[in-house]
Structure 1
């Protein structure tokens, strides 16, 4: 369910964020909208979808996808927008079209931030997707929901610990993946950093 939700969000948010970062058109409105959606509780979306007749894993996946969009959208925008201006100008000076500059210059430089957005999103969705059990869905949330229903609070605690451990393990694995996909010149002490602006010559 996490994989499907993140894939749906990524297909929508990453291209849109990259395009907005490249053109700068409508970026303020989209970023504001993306930040505003963070205030919408995932559980509330699931319950609204259930009230509309969508139950189970489908409701949880759709709610998690909506929840995942803001981080991916903002990170993609910031990554492309923050690409080194000197590298961007060099691409244009070589006769590259705007599309080629985006795909061959800006996106490679934005890889670290986009990967960071995916890492954060996946961990957040893994920690949130157990709410699917409240709408008749599956997943680890069933362990917690069953424990609550039968007042077996040890089972509730065990389910919570499993979810937390899964999120921590995934975060560690994704941290390594993030480092590997970040270009070496953009790393500081093994961590991705934003590209610096070229110095201005007198």
Structure 2
């Protein structure tokens, strides 16, 4: 195992090792090619041959999925980073005292979020709302989407916020008109501006998740 690995070979080895650990079996050449976007299995096979030649993989004849990664203290591989999945509570009606009174009965469920991919910092103040209605279609926020919000952030003009109006949570764009805070719908069917002085801003949207229907 004296020969070094190219960056791509290190990535292929890490993928094979992690797949082997998680699934108790190595990936097929087709799976390697699909994972790295190779146009054919030939490229995947070439990397695997190089790893076998350099002693990082072993081939077990007469077995399906016969490759096995060979860890070595002198040439350790680094498994591909695993996504950090966090369950974010989905609230139906957010109580006015959300920060201090997160009542279990207001939670409709949880949505699992890959915080690294979305760029969201996991926090007890993070929550989600399922979008209801079409008042925000101008911002491409559709019914059935999940808005991921952070409680306690100071909204800036242009931010999408969750606000409590008539004891019901709604998503709107936070704007200022003549220095006064307002909430703006992003659909001409709805009133343009709602004064925000007496509204409770419950969170600022930090990500949006859309289910593929």
**Shared fold per TM-score greater than 0.5:** no
More helix by share: 1
User: Higher Cα Rg: structure 1 or 2?
Assistant: 2
Which one has the bigger strand percentage?
2
TM-score bracket for the superposition, by shorter chain length: under 0.3
TM-score, scaled to structure 1? 0.24
